[in-house]
Amino acid sequence: MKFRVCSSAIVLAVLALLATGGFAASENAPGVSIADLMNPDDVMLRKPAQASAEDATELARKAAAEKAAAEAAAKAAADARRRAEEQARKEAEQRERLRKEAEAKAAAEAAAKAAAEAKRREEERARKEAEEKAAAEAAAKAAEEARQRAEEEARQAAKTKKLAPPAGPQPDILETTDAKQKSDTGAKRKDKKRQPGRDAVITAERTDYDRKEGVILFDRNVYVDDEQYQLHADRLFLFLDGTNDLKRLVALGNVAITNEEKNASCARAVYVKQSSKIVMYGEDGNPAQLYQGGKKGSTVKGERITFWLNSEQVEIEKPVVTVPGGSFRSGDGKDLFKNMKK
């Protein structure tokens, strides 16, 4: 019990010293107070239990602070990343939108260009069609006018001058092609006349074959080149029967028929197969004419000259016969009337 009192007294004394600062006058720490020595931050001076709790708290606080800072940093980083991603996404969207707009614009421009091209082609096609149509109409009109003009010229020529002796094909009144070429053609024709068994050739500028009507028309500069004769006319009609056999042949306009010995000219000539005759017609005061024996030979003129091919007879209406001087004395003139009915 006594010891317990003593101990308690010692503790109290120490506490008193501590309270009054008397310890500061000790020899071991001159000038330093006990308070200085009792720095609560000096863990070495603190009591172990108290320091551990404080350290733990501090550590916890620091850890919490560090955690909070880390969390804040992570959050900031996440925010930055998110913002960056958002920015990138927006930029990508912007680029995509611009690309689509550019594509749409290009497509629109291409469509507009294609439409313009189609329109241009359509206009070009319409223009060409109109030109073709106009050209075709003009050509048809010109051809018709030429035909009418040629007919008129033929009529006028028949009225104003006599038909020339058809020593060869009549001058072409419908065509104005090269005269030299015609001359060459004529020379070739003369050569061909002497070729036996050669082809018969009909040439014309235009031909119409109407099977329903049974008509073939050779039009403009018609030339029939046969081994036995040559025929030139402005037009040549062939009329056919139901079996396509020839019924009639009609030559119109500047008709000239020639062979080795005889020449004939008229405005119109008709061959009728059934009666086997050829009738030559004059027109407008210009009679049909028949020449024989060249320029110095005899000439027969008439309004109408008919040949019967089977009987070889000739019939002349309103005949005018011209024979060379002295023909009757030599008896040659008899031949002229030998086959004449009247």
Partner 1 sequence: MALAGLSFNSEQWLSERADDSDMMRLRVAYRDCVAKVESPAENVVFPLESFPDGSVKSRLSAARAQMFSDSDYIWGEDIRVEQYREAGSTNVWASLNAENCIVDRKTKSGWVEGSATMVYGDSSVKGRGIYFSLPREYIKILSKCEIRTKGAKFDPRSLVK
215 binds partner 1 (CB under 8 A): yes
Find the shortest distance in angstroms from Cβ 210 to partner 1. Answer: 6
- Residue among 158, 163, 216, 233 that touches partner 1 (CB under 8 A): 216
- Tell me the closest approach of the beta carbon of residue 272 to partner 1, in angstroms: 8
Residue choice 17, 34, 43, 246 for contact with partner 1 (CB under 8 A): 246
- Please compute, for residue 324, the number of CA atoms within 13 A of its CA located in the half-sphere on the CB side: 13
Q: Binding-site residue total for partner 1 (CB under 8 A)?
A: 47
User: Binding partner 1 by CB under 8 A: which of 158, 163, 233, 252?
Assistant: 252
Enter the tokens of residue 184. 């060459």
Minimal distance, residue 247 CB to partner 1, in Å: 9
The verdict on 276 binding partner 1 (CB under 8 A) reads no
Contact predicate 281/264, CB 8 Å: no
Given a contact cutoff of 8 angstroms between Cβ atoms, the answer to whether 300 and 280 are in contact is no
In contact, 298 and 323? CB cutoff 8 Å: yes
- For residue 210, state whether it binds partner 1 (rule: CB under 8 A): yes
CB 331, min distance to partner 1, A: 33
- Which range binds partner 1 by CB under 8 A, 64-72, 73-81, 129-137, 256-264? 129-137
Pick from 79, 103, 109, 132 the residue near partner 1 by CB under 8 A. 132
* DSSP category for residue 196: T
54 binds partner 1 (CB under 8 A): no
* Nearer residue to partner 1 within complex by CB, 234 or 316: 234
Cβ–Cβ under 8 Å, residues 314 and 341: yes
Interacting residues of 38 by C-beta distance below 8 A, sequence separation 6+: 45
Q: How far apart are CA 307 and CA 237, in angstroms?
A: 19
Is residue 211 near partner 1 by the rule CB under 8 A?
A: yes
- Provide the 8-state DSSP code for 205: S
Whole-angstrom Cα distance, residue 230 to residue 207? 19
The CA distance from 59 to 54, in Å, is 8
The first and second tokens of residue 46, run together, are: 């603190």
User: Which two three-digit tokens encode residue 220?
Assistant: 């403009």
Which stretch, 35-43, 166-174, 209-217, 286-294, contacts partner 1 (CB under 8 A)? Answer: 209-217
Binding site for partner 1 (CB under 8 A): 125, 128-129, 132-133, 136-137, 140, 144, 196-197, 199-213, 215-218, 224, 226-228, 237-240, 244-246, 248-250, 252, 270, 281
